């Protein structure tokens, strides 16, 4: 094969690879990105009930309820304008408590206005002082 | 007083560098003025030394808990153990910048001490580039991130370091990583100098390679240490989270690996010059990009320092200036430096060219994934996140062909390799490989991806073994193995073997641990048990103790499997000055595997039920072991280069 | 064919433009913490010691600094000195978060009292309307009770001076 021909085929091959790579990447992005909403935005926007999304806000005081076992919990996320009921089964992160910032990832059941969370992340807060520590400091 | 002195040192070095840049240029002819080379060299030495002293003075401030210094007040505490007071110096934005500058200064000093190896005009250009980079970083430090600001009245006590950072792994992870990142400034400067000279020779490649190797070794170790730290400290049993800041450290590593291979081709075959120069520029630019992303507050992550838009704009301008400037220079000078010689695809250089392409492609996909949330946010205003699933999908398909090529290329010669030669060398390889794969499959079964991963690592092992044996054998016959040839093989070849062996071990570790890991999470009371992977784990008791600066809740677990029985302690800490909890996982090692237990908070509070997570990670240590072997391979190559070719001895042709 | 060598440059410049845009508009994109900047201080049902006055009536038509704190909060103790130092120059109001009057009294007896007045949000529910993340947090209000700035976490002297010199100009006299 002459050099020029070789080069030509090489370029074609390269372009094909790049194109398929880009296609691959975009497809992956489409399926794998997760949108983030506040409770207000969730109520306002059109969202498929099956789609995995994230919701963030503060845990409303006195809204946390556990079932007997402790693994099924429901609470309310608020952005001070609107509230959203969240249902979650699983272990909660260390920093999860009322009044804290939290992000839940899961699906919304639009008709029931309940968010079924698959995972819950708590915002890292430097200023919370658990009561047991307060006791230690004061003594 | 000392602090003010350090402050002055910084300012002086900034002025000196600015002066350097100013007088280096002959404005009338738009050229560089070589006559000022000696003064420039001396000024650089002074500036570098002043910077290192400034950094040492800051460390002294931390050791003495001098809270009159705002930076020390914000980030330290008199109760911290000495070693963490010292590491606290760089555990914050301002201090870490000063460390960056000091490491750059030390690299600069080393370069200057070796300056006789190269011609004056070349080293002048390198110093000129270094001067610009330094001036930019120092200016950034002084004007937006000054560690030497005092605070009045002097506070009695500091605000304490984030307890999560009071940890040996994390104390050393930044310095190691920085030695890698910062080190890339030298190859970058070499590349710019070569572009300005209009020539990229194989002597140039020989000279720059040790610097690239050194940076690569430190980057590898730094990233490995970070991953190891995240594994045992964060309590999630994972060792890589595709966190934006992790990704942003991986990008320079990928490109530096490509650069390492590319520069070898330039050295041996005088080709791929454009690639090598571009890679040198891009790897450094990605380092700057990484710095920018972490410090500007654009992305939130475990690593992000406090955000400040002013800082962001400064770094961005600096980043744009340096990168756009270099890329423009590259585009304009490319024709001049590139030679028209072609590359045979079926040769070592052909394989390495493809390797370049694969590594750059993976880096591009990771870059796109990391920046995508930002891009979408600007365009549509929606908030999205791109997580691990994306990265796994785009990264893995690129790695497998690259590994395959790697195995093949190890067995190829430079220049053209005849197909019959390949056949002779490789059929044994393939036979052995198929043999092992079959055995593995019958023993373990397993998902296809894991099988592919194990196959990839075995491929690398057999390729290395194959090439090694071929070097020892005469006429490819097993009967004629000459063992004396072991000594004749160059140290850098062993380095190469070891580095690729490390990659194989790494891949093996990832495949086996991902394929065979098991996990349990739930809430348990004292006295209850968990079964996982034939382990019988009993939650014996919970101990509460007050320690120096934290409250400790320790879960004690007794574990039994087959004949073995042992105890694991998983601690949950609450630090007294900040109230922040952290978990110290209880990890039991068995050969290369881990049983890993984390105890969290009570759920619900006051019920006596504790959040328990148990991970069994078989063969996970191979991951970090592989990386260390990789780095060690790099060290062997570095030593070889040092004593045999261009590093200490004069190159045959001066640049 | 020659334009290929310009691709890295073009790619890079495009990304830089995105970065620049993001930084410029960064403040607008933080959903929770800056939600109340430039908005009026919300109506809160919290009262002083003997329930004699609610906070909104108390601060009406005055430019004040509101500090949310608690006796059980470590960093609050540290920033307390800073507040005391500025208490003579500025009107500092305290909101005791999830705390009892007894503990607050002990706290203030111990460390001194920088507050013109202390209000109590013992359940912590009302402070949610301030978008509170945790304690301490300090709000800088103008005469119309508009929140000019919110500082999260313990405030030090430097920051205090910077904020007041930027936002409070001749509006604050005892």
Question: What local confidence, expressed as pLDDT, does residue B479 receive?
Answer: 65
Range in B199-208, B572-581, B617-626 with the lowest mean pLDDT? B572-581
Q: For A34-122, which CATH superfamily applies?
A: Nucleic acid-binding proteins (2.40.50.140)
- Give the pLDDT band (50/70/90) at residue C123: confident
Residues B381-416: tens digit of each pLDDT: 777 778 888 888 888 888 888 888 888 888 887 776
User: In chain A, which residue's Cα lies nearest the Cα of C76?
Assistant: A127
CB contact under 8 A, B382 and A127: no
Neighbour subunits, B (≥3 Cβ pairs < 8 A) = A, C
Contact status of C95 with chain A (Cβ, < 8 Å): no
Q: Please give the residue that has the higher pLDDT: either C148 or B477.
A: C148
Of the partner residues A33, A91, A132, the one whose CB lies closest to the CB of residue B600: A91
Highest mean pLDDT among A9-23, B278-292, B481-495: B278-292
0.90 exceeded by pTM: no
Residue with token string 């509006």: C171
In a domain, C174, yes or no: no
- Which of the two residues, A40 and B85, has the higher pLDDT score? B85
Interchain contact, B390 vs A21, CB within 8 Å? no
CATH of the domain at C119: 3.40.30.10
The answer to whether C48 faces chain A, any CB pair under 8 Å, is: no
Residues of chain B in Cβ contact (below 8 Å) with chain A:
162, 342, 345, 357, 361, 365, 368-369, 372-373, 376, 382-387, 389-390, 393-394, 397-398, 521-523, 546, 551, 572, 574, 576, 578-581, 583, 600-601, 603-605, 607, 609, 611, 613
The predicted pLDDT at position B11 comes to: 94
How far apart (Å, rounded) are the C-alpha atoms in residues B494 and B395?
A: 28
pLDDT of residue B177: 93
Domain extents in chain A: 1-33, 34-122
Give dist(CA B101, CA B105) in Å, integer.
6
Q: Among all residues of chain A, which has the CA nearest to that of C125?
A: A61
- Collect all residues of chain C within an 8 Å Cβ-Cβ radius of residue A58: 32, 128, 131
Return the pLDDT at C174: 31
Mean pLDDT of chain A: 76
Bridge partners of B300?
Answer: none
| Residues of chain C with C-beta less than 8 angstroms from the C-beta of A57 | 32
More confident residue, B650 or B630: B630
Q: What percent of chain B has pLDDT over 90?
A: 42
pLDDT at A31: 67
Q: What is the mean pLDDT of chain B?
A: 85
Instruction: Kindly state whether residue C11 falls inside one of the protein's structural domains.
Output: no
Nearest to A80 among C123, C124, C129 (CB): C129
pLDDT digits (tens, 9 = 90+) for B500-542: 999 999 999 999 998 889 999 888 999 999 999 899 999 999 9
Q: Taking a C-beta distance cutoff of 8 angstroms, is the pair B573, B551 a contact?
A: yes
Domain positions in chain B: 1-166, 174-395, 396-516, 518-617
Range of the domain at C152: 30-167
User: Binning pLDDT at 50, 70 and 90, where does residue B304 land?
Assistant: very low
Query: Is C158 close to B70, i.e. CB distance below 8 A?
Result: yes
- Flag whether pLDDT at B476 surpasses 60: no
Residue A72 CB partners (closer than 8 Å, separation 6+): A66, A87, A88, A89
Domain assignment present for residue C100? The answer is: yes
Q: Are strands B518-524 and A53-59 parallel, antiparallel or unpaired?
A: unpaired
pLDDT band at B189 (very low <50, low <70, confident <90, very high): very high
Question: According to the model, what pLDDT value does residue B221 have?
Answer: 96
Pick from C12, C29, C74: CB nearest B327: C12
C-beta atoms of C128 and A101 within 8 A: no
How sure is the predictor about C26, in pLDDT bands with cuts at 50, 70 and 90?
low
Q: What is the pLDDT of residue B5?
A: 93
pLDDT attached to residue B641: 62
- Across chain C, mean pLDDT equals 80
CB C8 to CB B282 under 8 A? Answer: yes
Contacts of B149 in chain C (CB under 8 A): 158
For residue B344, is pLDDT > 50?
yes
* Distance separating alpha carbons of residues C170 and C174, to the nearest angstrom: 11
- For chain A, helix (H) and strand (E) counts, in that order, are 3, 7
Dihedral over alpha carbons B337, B342, B348, B352 (to 10 degrees): 50
pLDDT at residue B136, as a whole number: 93
The answer for residues whose C-beta is within 8 angstroms of residue A22's C-beta and 6 or more apart is none
Burial tier of B397 (Cβ tally within 10 Å: 0-12, 13-18, 19+): middle
Is the pLDDT at C30 greater than 60? The verdict is no
Query: In this predicted model, what pLDDT tens digit does every residue of C133-174 receive, in sequence order?
Result: 667 889 998 888 888 888 877 787 878 888 888 777 654 433
Q: Tell whether B70 lies on the interface with C, counting CB pairs under 8 A.
A: yes
Of B298, B323, B378, which is closest to C12 when you measure between CB atoms?
A: B323
For B570-603, how does the pLDDT look when each residue is reduced to its tens digit (9 = 90+)?
999 887 766 677 888 999 998 999 999 999 888 8
DSSP of B293-322: HHHHTSS-STT-----HHHHHHHHHHHHHH
Mutate to test the interface with C, among B160, B312, B314, B356 (most CBs of C within 10 A): B312
What pLDDT is stored for residue B477 in this prediction? 58
Q: Indicate whether B298 pLDDT > 70.
A: no
Contact C23 B309 (CB under 8 A): yes
Is there a domain that residue C1 lies in?
no
């Amino acid at each position: 094969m002459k050099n020029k021909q070789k080069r030509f085929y090489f370029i074609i091959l390269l372009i094909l690879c790049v194109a398929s790579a880009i296609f691959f990447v975009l497809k992956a992005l489409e399926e794998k990105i997760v949108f983030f909403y506040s409770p207000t935005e969730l109520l306002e926007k059109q969202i498929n009930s099956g789609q995995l999304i994230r919701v963030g806000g503060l845990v409303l005081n006195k809204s946390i309820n556990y079932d007997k076992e402790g693994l099924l919990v429901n609470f309310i996320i608020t952005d001070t304008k609107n509230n959203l009921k969240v249902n979650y089964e699983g272990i909660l992160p260390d920093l999860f408590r009322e009044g804290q910032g939290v992000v839940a990832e899961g699906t919304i059941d639009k008709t029931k206005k309940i968010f079924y969370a698959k995972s819950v992340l708590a915002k890292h807060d430097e200023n919370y002082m658990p009561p047991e520590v307060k006791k230690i400091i004061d003594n | 007083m000392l602090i003010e002195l350090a402050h002055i040192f910084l300012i002086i070095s900034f002025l000196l560098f600015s002066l350097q840049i100013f007088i280096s240029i002959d404005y009338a002819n738009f050229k560089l003025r070589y006559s000022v080379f000696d003064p420039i060299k001396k000024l650089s030495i002074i500036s570098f030394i002043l910077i290192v002293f400034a950094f040492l003075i800051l460390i002294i401030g931390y050791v003495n808990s001098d809270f009159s210094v705002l930076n020390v007040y914000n980030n330290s505490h008199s109760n911290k153990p000495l070693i963490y007071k010292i590491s606290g110096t760089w555990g914050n934005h301002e201090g870490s910048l000063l460390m960056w500058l000091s490491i750059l200064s030390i690299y600069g000093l080393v370069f200057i001490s070796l300056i006789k190896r190269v011609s004056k005009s070349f080293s002048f250009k390198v110093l000129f580039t270094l001067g610009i980079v330094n001036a930019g970083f120092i200016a950034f430090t002084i004007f937006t991130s000054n560690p030497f600001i005092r605070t009045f009245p002097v506070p009695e006590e500091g605000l304490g370091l984030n307890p999560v950072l009071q940890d040996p792994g994390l104390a050393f992870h930044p310095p190691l990583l920085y030695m890698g990142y910062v080190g890339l400034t030298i190859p970058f400067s070499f590349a710019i100098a070569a572009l300005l000279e209009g020539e990229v020779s194989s002597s140039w490649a020989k000279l720059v390679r040790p610097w690239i190797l050194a940076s690569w070794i430190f980057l590898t170790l730094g990233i490995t240490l970070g991953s190891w730290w995240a594994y045992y400290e964060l309590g999630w049993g994972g060792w890589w989270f595709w966190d934006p800041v992790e990704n942003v450290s991986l990008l320079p590593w990928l490109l530096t690996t490509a650069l390492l291979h590319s520069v070898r081709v330039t050295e041996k075959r005088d080709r791929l010059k454009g690639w090598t120069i571009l890679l040198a520029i891009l790897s450094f630019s990605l380092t700057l990009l990484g710095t920018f992303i972490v410090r500007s507050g654009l992305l939130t992550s475990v690593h992000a320092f406090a955000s400040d838009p002013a800082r962001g704009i400064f770094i961005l301008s600096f980043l744009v200036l340096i990168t756009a400037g270099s890329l423009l220079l590259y585009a304009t000078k490319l024709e001049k430096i590139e030679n028209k010689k072609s590359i045979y695809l079926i040769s070592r250089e052909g394989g390495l060219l493809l390797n370049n392409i694969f590594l750059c492609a993976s880096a591009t996909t990771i870059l796109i994934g990391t920046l995508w949330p930002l891009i979408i946010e600007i365009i549509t205003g929606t908030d999205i996140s791109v997580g691990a699933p994306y990265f796994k999908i785009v990264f893995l398909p690129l790695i497998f062909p690259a590994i395959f090529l790697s195995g093949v290329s190890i067995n190829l010669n430079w220049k053209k390799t005849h197909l019959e030669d390949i056949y002779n060398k490789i059929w044994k390889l393939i036979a052995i490989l198929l043999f092992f794969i079959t055995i593995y499959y019958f023993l373990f079964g397993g998902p296809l991806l894991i099988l592919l991963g194990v196959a990839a690592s075995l491929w690398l092992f057999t390729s290395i073994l194959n090439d090694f044996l071929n070097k020892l054998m005469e006429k490819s016959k097993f009967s004629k193995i000459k063992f004396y040839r072991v000594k004749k093989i160059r140290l850098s070849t062993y380095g190469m073997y070891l580095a690729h062996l490390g990659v194989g071990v790494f891949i093996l570790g990832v495949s086996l641990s991902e394929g065979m890991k098991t996990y349990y999470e739930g809430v348990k009371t004292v006295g209850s048990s968990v079964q996982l992977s034939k382990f019988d784990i009993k939650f014996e008791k919970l101990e509460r103790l007050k320690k120096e600066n934290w409250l400790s809740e320790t879960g004690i677990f007794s574990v039994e499997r087959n004949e073995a029985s042992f105890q694991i302690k998983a601690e949950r800490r609450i630090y007294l000055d900040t109230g922040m909890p952290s978990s110290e996982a209880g990890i039991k090692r068995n050969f290369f595997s881990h049983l890993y237990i984390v105890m969290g908070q009570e759920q619900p509070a006051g019920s006596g039920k504790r959040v328990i997570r148990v991970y069994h990670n078989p063969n996970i240590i191979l991951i970090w072991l592989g990386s260390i072997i990789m780095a060690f391979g790099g060290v062997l190559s570095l030593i070889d280069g040092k004593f045999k070719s261009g590093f200490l001895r004069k190159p045959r042709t001066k640049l | 064919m020659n334009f290929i060598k310009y691709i890295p440059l073009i790619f890079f410049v495009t990304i830089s433009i995105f970065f620049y845009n993001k930084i410029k508009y960064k403040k607008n994109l933080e959903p929770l913490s800056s939600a109340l900047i430039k908005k009026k201080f919300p109506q809160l049902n919290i009262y002083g010691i003997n329930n004699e006055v609610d906070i909104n009536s108390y601060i009406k038509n005055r430019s004040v600094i509101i500090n949310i704190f608690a006796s059980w909060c470590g960093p609050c103790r540290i920033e307390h000195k800073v507040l005391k130092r500025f208490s003579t120059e500025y009107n500092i109001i305290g909101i005791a978060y999830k705390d009892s009057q007894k503990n607050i009294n002990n706290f203030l007896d111990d460390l001194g009292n920088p507050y013109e007045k202390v209000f109590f949000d013992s359940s912590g529910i009302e402070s949610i309307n301030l978008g509170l993340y945790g304690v301490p947090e300090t709000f800088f209000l103008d005469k119309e009770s508009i929140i000019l700035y919110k500082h999260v976490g313990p405030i030090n002297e430097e920051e205090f001076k910077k904020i007041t010199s930027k936002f409070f100009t001749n509006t604050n006299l005892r």
